[in-house]
Every structure is written in C-alpha cells, then in structure tokens.
C-alpha cells in the first residue's frame, strides 16, 4: 500500500519561506511521478508543481520563480521550497504520488498572514 506523509506547513508572514516534505512508502519511489497540489477554502484543488521520475519539472504559472520542487530518491522524499510567500498562497498543500495509480497525502496547512 502506498502511503504519503507530509510535513513542514505552518504560519508565516508574507515574504517568508517554508519547505514542505512528503515521504512515500510502498512504491518504487524512483519511478514515481510526484506532485504538489493546494486547495484554498472555497476553491478547487490546483496543481502547484510536478516532478517526473526522470527529473522533468512543471510549475504552475503562479509559483514560477518562487517555488522549487525537488526529490531525493534515496530518502523517498519530495520537497517543495516556497519562497516569497504571499497571502494568496494560503491553502492546504497536498502531495500526490503517481505509481500504478494516484495516491494522496493527508495535507499540510500553510497560512501566510501578517
């Protein structure tokens, strides 16, 4: 069974940074496509960034230049480094693993507020 555990969310002020982590078990992580999504209150879940098994990366336009997705296959972990956070980045952030199906983490709250 594929399981994902996220961590790293919290409350920060605008302009500050956070790093989210998502550790995966139960899959061949190096072959797994990993993505970060977010869902703000009253809005649909949206893609933030995705990194393929070969390291190819795609970002949503609203995070380009501010967020960086990376993966450490030895640790079965994907990261999302978020810099220059804005109030509109406030959301629950989810990681998703695609390996013989889609699997989601439980989500971690990111709140950007002064």
Q: Which residues lie below 8 Å from residue 65, measured CB to CB, with a gap of 6+? A: none
Q: What is the pLDDT of residue 110?
A: 98
Q: Which long-range contacts (CB under 8 A, 24 or more apart) does 55-58 make?
A: none
- pLDDT score of 28: 87
**What span, in angstroms and rounded, lies between the C-alpha atoms of 47 and 49?**
6
pLDDT tens per residue, range 46-82? 999 999 999 899 999 999 899 999 999 999 999 999 9
User: Which runs of consecutive H residues, i.e. helices, occur in 4-56?
Assistant: none
The per-residue pLDDT for 41 is: 92
Query: What is the chain's mean pLDDT, rounded?
Result: 95
pLDDT class of 100 with cuts at 50, 70, 90: confident
Bridge partners (DSSP) listed for residue 79: 21, 70
Burial degree of 20 (CB within 10 A; 0-12, 13-18, 19+): buried
Tokens for 21, please give them.
């982590």
Helix (H) or strand (E) holding 111: strand 108-112
Considering only residues 79 and 26, tell me which one the structure prediction assigns the higher pLDDT: 79
Degrees, nearest 5: CA angle 27-69-66 = 160
């Amino acid at each position: 069974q594929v399981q994902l555990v996220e961590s790293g969310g919290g409350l920060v002020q605008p302009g500050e940074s956070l790093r989210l982590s998502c550790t995966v078990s139960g899959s061949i992580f190096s072959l797994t496509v990993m993505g970060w999504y977010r869902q703000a209150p009253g809005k649909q879940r949206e893609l933030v960034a995705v990194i393929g098994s070969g390291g190819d990366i795609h970002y949503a336009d609203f995070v380009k230049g501010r967020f960086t997705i990376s993966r450490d296959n030895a640790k079965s972990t994907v990261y999302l480094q978020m810099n220059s956070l804005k109030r509109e980045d406030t959301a629950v952030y989810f990681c998703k693993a695609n390996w013989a199906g889609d699997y989601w983490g439980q989500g971690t709250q990111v709140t950007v507020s002064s």
